[in-house]
Amino acid sequence: MQLQTDKIVYKDFPIDILRLDLIGDKLQGNKYFKLKYNIAEAKNQKLDTLLTFGGAFSNHIYATAAAGKEHDIKTIGIIRGEDNPNNPTLQFAKSMGMQLEFINREAYQHRATPAFETTLKNKFGNFYLLPEGGTNDLAIQGCAEILSGIKNKYDRIFLPVGTGGTIAGIISTQELKTHVTGISVLRGDDTLTKAIKGLAKSPNADITWDVNFNFHYGGYAKFSSKLIEFIRKFYKEYNIMLDPIYTGKMMGGIFFMIDHDKIEPGKKILAIHTGGLQGIDGWEYRFEKIIKA
């Protein structure tokens, strides 16, 4: 697959942006790579249903529904909370044929237990189980292909980090020597770093990496007027849309580091746009159109 890279310049720093958001139609971004081998394995096991979990505005729910439609596989989404017929994410999932099952937050906490899986199988029959967010070994295998062919073109590579699956794949990319920085969108500590180490079963020893926790803007799905204004200005300047949960925080972090001399001049920089733009509709539904204003 040929991936598009766009070049921008900020304060004399050229930055290449890998546009995973331009992959395909409805199934795009890092979710394409996370789901690629899981779908193949479901078919290999002759299972015709994917079942997964997520919140009412989950990008993973959106992507799984799109993947099911594209590959002619039934999908079931176990949704935390109550139904809302006006929620654009859930509307889309339903339009793709996903069956939605709403459970309360207390029950949702038990989603990873064997007893809960048994309850689901008793209700829905056999299915291929995808974890919340889609991160598992096959997802990491897929994400290890994101930078295939790039070789040693870049000194610094940046990407947003949530559960850690995508960066675990990136640091497992073979034939690559670079430094990777994950911009965490969660408030956190070394717990996430340890989780990434656990997920990356076969890391490339030639790749050094770190996770930066300074640009989460208060935590997952938290934001400030400064972040929203940055996203608007970025789009006006470069004609590239960012989302406020992942890529906006990443690019804001990169610009901040350039402003404060945390990135050496002359370094070749790549920022991975992991997609997630479909989440903007849900965001604006919740917060009254503050991105596209």
The domain boundary residue, chosen from 104, 134, 164: 134
Cβ(246)–Cβ(160) below 8 Å: yes
Looking at the fold, whether 148 and 245 belong to one and the same domain comes out as yes
Gap between the Cα atoms of 255 and 86, Å rounded = 36
The pLDDT value given to residue 224? 77
pLDDT at 251: 98
By CB atoms closer than 10 A (0-12, 13-18, 19+), residue 114 is: exposed
Residues 209 and 179 in one domain: yes
pLDDT, greater one: 106 or 1:
106
Same domain, 260 and 174: yes
pLDDT tens digits for range 18-55 = 999 999 888 999 999 999 999 999 999 999 999 999 99
**28, 101, 158, 223 from 252: Cα distances, Å:** 22, 36, 11, 12
| Boundaries of domain holding 36 | 30-134
- Provide the pLDDT confidence category of residue 221 given band limits of 50, 70 and 90: low
Task: Characterize the bridge pairing of strands 178-184 and 13-19.
Answer: unpaired
Task: Name beta bridge partners: 50.
Answer: 75, 128
Token pair recorded at residue 280: 């903007």
Return d(Cα 83, Cα 68) in angstroms, integer. Answer: 21
Cα–Cα distances in angstroms (integers) from residue 273 to residues 4, 104, 157, in the given order: 11, 33, 11
Residue 292 lies in a domain: no
| Global pTM exceeds 0.85 | yes
| Inside any domain, residue 293 | no
Mean pLDDT of 180-197: 90
Q: pLDDT for 146-175, tens place per residue?
A: 998 787 799 999 999 998 999 999 999 998
Q: Taking 60 as the threshold, does the pLDDT of residue 293 lie above it?
A: no
In a domain, 179, yes or no: yes
pLDDT over 70 percentage in the chain = 97
pLDDT at 71 over 60: yes
The answer on 130 and 140 residing in a single domain is no
In a shared domain, residues 143 and 125: no
In a 13 Å sphere around the CA of 274, the CA atoms on its Cβ side amount to: 33
In this structure, what DSSP letter does residue 95 have?
H
| Mean pLDDT along residues 48-71 | 96
Please say if the pLDDT value at position 246 is more than 60.
yes
- CA dist 277 and 287 (Å) reads 15
Q: How confident is the model at residue 64, as a pLDDT?
A: 98
What number of CA atoms fall less than 13 Å from residue 121's CA on the CB side?
11
The predicted pLDDT at position 219 comes to: 56
Assign residue 128 a region (left: φ > 0; alpha: ψ between -120 and 50; beta: otherwise). Answer: beta
Q: Are residues 19 and 34 in the same domain?
A: no
Kindly state whether residues 181 and 230 are assigned to the same domain.
yes
CATH of the domain at 238: 3.40.50.1100
Q: Are residues 273 and 194 in the same domain?
A: yes
118 and 261 co-located in one domain: no
Pair (128, 141) in one structural domain: no
Q: Are 21 and 97 contained in the same domain?
A: no
* 222: pLDDT strictly greater than 80: no
CA 293 vs CA 49, 111, 217, 224, 242: distances in Å: 39, 38, 21, 15, 14
Among 134, 156, 177, where does a domain finish?
A: 134
Are 10 and 62 members of one domain? no
